[in-house]
Chains A and B, each alone.
Chain A
Amino acid sequence: MNLKKPGSSKPEPGSYQPVMPRNWWLQHRYFQIYMLREATVLPLLFFIGCLLYGLYCLSLGETQWQHWLAFMAQPWVVLLNLLAFSASLFHAKTFFELFPRVMPLAPPGLMIAGQWLATLLVATGLVLLLGGWL
């Protein structure tokens, strides 16, 4: 295939070569929701940073661990982590809805319900398992 990239060269004489604006994703709601889905990774990065910092503090001893617990209890950290939590729930919703289309193993409704049930079971299991330590 020998195709020209828009904007990378002059248009062919006799035709108008459209160029995609940088803000193409603001053009309508469907693209905005898509970008929101992709942007859910940003608050998750913060959450992962918190976790890694926690592990590092744990390796330094109890004083640092207590310091990390105090850090995590600050309102702005709680707020950002709540944002990360809702973002991951939103991402999970979009993922669970797309999955039956990519791997149509069972009726879509059943697959979506199954995925939420599995998430709930794993989350409950983790809370029960780790709950005693916190």
Chain B
Amino acid sequence: MSKTINIARYNPQTDSRPQLQAFQVESDNSTSVLDALLQVQQQDPSLGFRWSCRMAICGSCGVMVNGIPKLGCKTFLRDYPDELTVSALAHFNVEKDLIVDMQPFLTHLAAVKPYLINDDQSSQPHRQTPAQLAKYQQFANCINCGLCYSACPQFGLNPEFLGPAAITLAQRYNLDSRDAGKTARMPELNSKNGVWGCTFVGFCSEVCPKKVDPAAAVNQGKVASAGDFIISMFKP
């Protein structure tokens, strides 16, 4: 059947702001939003959007569908009535059509030192028990799609807020038994743009396509930050 897809178009050379443009696409039970966008691109090759794997692994095809952040490949036209609106991810600068500048997101990820930090020079593998793995495994499932940043009103209001994915990643490494870098990460988490910028809206966890539950990670980060503060009071 035929459905109408309204796409927020933006050409940086001619437009001052995005404008909706309607397209007709053919859809069946298996047509994803990404499939629909590829159909539209056949009609209008100038349409710009990112995609790669088509199986919710690469995290490239994040868009707003009717105002909610979604992965295009994991969202299906069958779940929408005859018409839907697709626009670029919220809270990021739009470069063209559905393509946003992800640089702020990447800067925030890098700021929390998202890698194992330890002084161990041995070439032996770092052993870990299933229980130690279970402590952080859920938070390690993030695919860096950025949907949680588009869902987060705090990031929208203050782009310097570290945001859900970055804090989750910090928590993921802080909880890893092989890591000794918590001291290096805590100043960033304790800062005013760190964990305390979160007001537990919780929408980040709702939109997360990998069920990472970033809101839980951020608020566990608040417990860690409070603990860090109390310990620092007793240190000379």
Question: Which A residues fall within an 8 A CB radius of B?
Answer: 1, 3-6, 11-12, 14-18, 20, 24-25, 27-28, 30-31, 34, 38, 98, 101-104
Contacts and interface: CB of A to CB of B under 8 A. Distances in A.
Contact of A3 (B15, B90, B107): B107
B223 A103 contact: yes
Given A3-B107, A4-B159, A6-B156, A17 B93 contact: yes
Contacts of B213: 101
B17 A101 contact: no
Contact of A1 (B12, B111, B157): B111
Contacts, number: 76
A1 B160 contact: yes
Contacts of A34: 201-203
B51 interface: no
Nearest to A28: B67
Contact of B159 (A6, A12, A15, A27): A6
B153 A24 contact: yes
Interface in B1-52: 10, 12-13, 15-18
A24 B151 CA distance: 11
B74 interface: no
User: Which 8 interchain pairs have the tightest Cβ spacing?
Assistant: A101-B216, A102-B219, A16-B94, A15-B93, A14-B12, A20-B156, A3-B159, A34-B201
Interface of B: 10, 12-13, 15-18, 67-68, 90-95, 101, 104, 107-108, 111, 153, 156-160, 193, 199-203, 206, 213, 215-216, 219-220, 222-223
A7 to B, nearest CB: 10
Instruction: Give the secondary structure class of A's interface.
Output: loop
B207 to A, nearest CB: 9
Contacts of B111: 1
Contacts of A102: 216, 219-220, 222-223
B201 A31 contact: yes
Contacts of B94: 15-16, 18
A107 to B, nearest CB: 14
Nearest to A17: B93
A12 to B, nearest CB: 6
B210 to A, nearest CB: 16
Given A1-B111, A20-B156, A20-B157, A101 B201 contact: no
Given A1-B108, A16-B93, A20-B153, A101 B215 contact: yes
Contacts of B202: 30, 34, 98
Nearest to A35: B201
A11 B153 CA distance: 20
Nearest to B215: A101
Contacts of B159: 3-6
Contacts of B215: 101
A12 B104 CA distance: 14
B93 A11 contact: yes
Contact of B104 (A3, A16, A30): A3
Contacts of A15: 12, 93-95, 101
